[in-house]
Every structure is written in structure tokens, then in C-alpha cells.
Amino acid sequence: MNTKKWLAVGTCVSLLSMFSACSDDESSPVTPPDPGLSSSAMVVPGSSEVAPNSSAGEAQTPSSATVPTSSSATVPVPMSSESIDPIDSASSQMGVSEIMYNAPGGSALEWVEVYIKAGPDIGDMELSGLRLDGAVNFAFPSGGLKKGEYVIVTNDPTTFKSTYKNLPANCRVFGPWDKDPKTDQVAKLINEGDVVDVKIHGSGDVSAAFSNEPPWPSLADGKGRTLVYKGSGSEADPSSWGASSVENGNPCAGGDKVLDATTVRLNEIKPFVINETDGWIELYNYGSAPVDVKGWELESKKKDKTWKIGGDNTVVPANGYLLLESTAAVFGDDGLYLGNNGDEIYLYEAASGTRTGKETSLMLSAGTQSSGVVDVAGGSSVQGTMATETPGAANSALKAGPIFISEINYHENETNPNDMEFLEIVNKGTENVTLFESVNGQSKGWKIEGVNIEFSSTDVLPAGGMMVLFNDSMKTKEDLLRARYSIPENVLIRFYAGKLSNRGETVAVKKPFSFTAKSDGTKQWYYEISDATIYNDRWSGLTEADGKGKSLNRKDYTTMGYGSASWQALDPTPGK
């Protein structure tokens, strides 16, 4: 359902209810937490959440306080009551508990499991406006939904029922979801990543993200598992999800188990740089006992190659680090040479020469600087290019700039016809930045993950200058937008095809750095992240930005904009 808004002059616009799909060259800045953080399980403070997929018999992990991570091997992060406000349980709060976005064996089957996370039963789903939005669209029919009940929405009910022949008797299966207007075929969940929104009249909406890139669990990407919500944290945060412990998942059941996590994680990776260094990989063990990683397997998705860890020193001490040089003595053959044009790196636990299903992963950013994991304000952790390399020690801050996200009006005030969703970026550098690059004879624009925009050669952001971005339904209304917000003529206005999630998501400004040619003739692009945030509609002290007339305004440009401490809720001021 599209949100309708009117400008003061009476022009009607339609804001697209969709999330920008991650392409196969997107990189996710979210990742497991930093050393020393607690791993005690907990739920959202003060809430009455149902934990649909936690089980006393399985090792469970809490999740990050912020939005889009946990693969089955990432480290839990405790929810911080100081940074996240509790869920309002007075109304029905929707949840997504399981997602099959890339079924095994080449099957086209996809499905989403929906339930009431908190609050009362729903008397009639149709009258309540219950629907899927974002990656796929579906309006639920008439009928009630009770607390503790799980329902399925799928692209193909017939294939779903033939695949899952032992469903509970009360399992309701809805679908197919709506067609994609671009193809006139039933819409598809994009394997590279997207967001499924469950919307309902009131304040019970939820945005559930999924992705096939680190640090999301690779076993849910066509390898026979589903993504399972662990029972706490934001559904837009990868750390709230794990890979199902059973093949094909467990639809309509609830209480699903996820694979255990290894206590060892990829913490920092230095790429190979000609005439400088052969590179290295740093592991961190957050557990209370040392772990020997001899025989564990390291995989480069870009190179489609796997190495076994060997050498004389392969023990990661408890609460400590192990630095592995990328040499033949450790990785065999000619050693491990990870290039500086970006990569997706996975470390798999192996026992007796066989993978256990436990993994950790890290997105290696394009560039010669190391990539790693850092703690951020709000009790979460993220990954990206490091400002300073710290082999064998706790990581430094992430490298950021010169282009920063300066304002986000992600949830317009629906009672104010003049309030509009927008995003603002600023150049904090001392030189003009052309948001378009020539890389080895190929041209490519910078892009902003989360709103689906790629810039052109005419997009130049002056030193100290700003750019305001609106939904592309307003492309012909630039003059009206300038008049509405008194945006100066020297401030650029551009338009994006996506829509900011009302609940929270990753937004990242990314500069193309390099590419590789793929066998199908397309190019795999790699990016440097200039700035990123993972905003959340329940950030304590910032909830006025959630449809109440305020926007998120940046107050800290010393590092990337992760965490609530970098923002404040103020009146919208695009272009000022």
C-alpha cells in the first residue's frame, strides 16, 4: 500500500513502499560484536515479547540493539536498555520468525512466517490492514490471528504444501503474494538481500531484513536452511537471526532451533598489497577456553577457493587474539593472497576434516587498508574499513568520510500532509567530490545502499556542500520541494527509487573501487564505504523521529554514524 502525501501547494505524490534490493556487489557493514561484550541471553527490556525460535536445549545468543547480524557463528550482543526503548505491548506487534529466501536444489519456493510478537490477538486481519510490503506485497484476507499462532505467506502454496507434508493441522498457508509490476510475474525475494515489511494499522509494523552477504549465515543461502529469528532484538538486524538447525526449516511450529555459534570469529583482515605486505588474518576468541583452529577452512567467495589452516601456532587463547600470516606455512600452496578489490571471507569450523556448520564471516572492503569489526554506541558492532590497523589487539574506529549522512527523515508524520521522507548527505572534506569514478577504463557511480540510487558524472558535491534526496515520485516537483523546505539553490536535489524503512535499516554511502568480470559478462563491483548508519525507530530519546514530526540529525562526524549517540531528533531541515 503506497503512502499518499500532499505538498502545501496541493501536489499529490506517491511514496513507493519498497526497500532497495541489495545487488550482488553490495557490502553489509553490520557484523559481530567486539571482544569483551557479554553473551548473556536476554529479551527487549520491559517488553512482553514472545521468543518464537529459542529453545532451552540449544545454545542461543541475544542480538544487537541496533538494526540490519549474526551468522550462525557470530557473537551475541546484549540489548542495551539505555539505547533502545521497550516495545509498546498495548497494540498488536507483528513479527517475522522464519524466512526461506533461497531454497536448496534450485527450487523457486520462497516463504515468510508471520506471527504476533506482543500485544493482543487480531480480530480480523483484513480489517486491521495486515499486509506484507517492501520486498513482496500481500494483503491478508479476512480472519483472526491469535497470539502464539504462526502463519505462512509464500510465492507458491502448492509447492509449499508438497514440500512440507507434515505441517501442523492448524497451519494456515497464504499466497501467492502479488505480482511484480515490472515482470507481471509473481514477485521474488532477491537472494542478495532485501527487507520484508509486515504492516498493520497502528504502531505494530516490523521490518525483517535478510541477505546472503557477511555476516548473514551462508547456510540459509541455497544450502538447505532457513533464516530463523532468535527471539530478541530487531528483525532488521542480522545478529537477531541464525540458520535453522534442521533442513528446510520448520514452518508453522515455532520454538525453532538455530545452529550453535563458534566462539572464534574473524576480527580483522589485511589484504595483499604488492611490495608492501602479504596480508594477515586476525582471529578473536570470545570464549573462556582456548580453541585450536588447525584444519579449519577459510573460504574466499570472490576467488571461489578454500584453504585449510595449518602451521605450528593455531591456538586462539581465551578472550584473546591469534594473528595468521598469509603464508604457505599457514595456508599451504603459495599462501593466502586476498586482493584489495574486496571479498567475502568465511571461516568454517571443522572437526575430523568435516565442517560442523559453524561459521564466522567478514566482508573485506575494497582498498589496501584492513577491514574489521568494531564496537559502536548503543551496544552493537559493525564491520568495515579500519581507520588504523591493529594486528593482535583490539580494533580501532572505522574509517569514514568525506561524504557523510547528515539527516534522515525516515518516517514522515502521516498527520502532516507537508511532511516528506528524505535523506541528506554532506561533504565534510576540503575538496569537491565527483560522485562518479573511472576504474580501469570503466565508469561507475557512487551509490547509497538503502534507497537505491546510483550517481552520475554530473553529480558533484562541493567541499562543505549538501545534497538532499527525495523519492523519485517527486522528480518533476523540485521547485515545489525547494519552496516547501526553503532549500537554497546551491544545494543539490536528487531522487531515489527506494523507500526508507519506518522501522530501521542500513543506509550506506559507497564509492566504487574495483571490479571483476563475471562469467556471464556482467561485472562484480567492490566498494569503499564512506559513511553508514543502522538507524532504529526505538532508539531511546530519538523516538520523536518515528512519525512524530522530527528527523534524525547528525551530531557526530568523527566516525561512521552507527549507534544512537551520533544522532539527535530535531525539526527537519533539509539542505541547511
Q: Tens of pLDDT along 292-335?
A: 999 999 999 888 899 999 999 999 999 999 999 999 999 998 88
Burial class (CB in 10 A: 0-12, 13-18, 19+), 350: middle
Lowest mean pLDDT among 59-73, 250-264, 314-328, 556-570: 59-73
Q: Are 569 and 424 in contact (CB under 8 A)?
A: no
Question: Could you tell me how far CA 87 lies from the centroid of its own chain?
Answer: 21
Among the four given CATH numbers 1.10.3470, 2.40.50, 3.50.4, 2.60.40, the one describing domain 264-385: 2.60.40
Query: How large a percentage of the chain has pLDDT more than 70?
Result: 82
Q: Are 18 and 473 in contact (CB under 8 A)?
A: no
Name residues whose C-beta falls within 8 Å of residue 560's C-beta, 6 or more positions apart in sequence. Answer: 29, 376, 382, 384, 398, 400, 529, 531, 532, 533
Q: How confident is the model at residue 33 (pLDDT cuts 50, 70, 90)?
A: very low
CB atoms within 10 A of CB 71: 28
Q: Tens of pLDDT along 443-475?
A: 999 999 888 899 999 999 999 999 999 998 899
What are 211's three cell numbers?
Answer: 541477505
Q: Tens of pLDDT along 364-389?
A: 988 889 999 886 654 556 788 898 99
Angle value at C-alpha 101, between 99 and 104, nearest 5 degrees: 110
Mean pLDDT estimate for the chain = 82
Q: How confident is the model at residue 562 (pLDDT cuts 50, 70, 90)?
A: confident
Lowest mean pLDDT among 153-157, 235-239, 329-333, 415-419: 235-239
Q: Rounded mean pLDDT of 402-410?
A: 97
What is the rounded CA–CA span in Å between residue 407 and residue 420?
13
Query: In which residue ranges of the chain is CATH 2.60.40 found?
Result: 264-385
Q: Which of the two residues, 55 and 141, has the higher pLDDT score?
A: 141
pTM as predicted: 0.72
Q: How confident is the model at residue 54 (pLDDT cuts 50, 70, 90)?
A: very low
Q: Are 463 and 429 in contact (CB under 8 A)?
A: yes
Q: Tens of pLDDT along 151-207?
A: 999 999 999 999 999 899 889 999 999 998 888 999 999 888 888 989 887 667 888
What is the rounded CA–CA span in Å between residue 410 and residue 547?
8
Q: Tens of pLDDT along 480-514?
A: 999 999 999 999 999 998 788 887 888 989 998 88
Q: Which of the two residues, 515 and 568, has the higher pLDDT score?
A: 568
Q: How confident is the model at residue 38 (pLDDT cuts 50, 70, 90)?
A: very low
pLDDT at 6 over 70: no
What is the per-residue pLDDT for 367?
83
What is the per-residue pLDDT for 88?
56
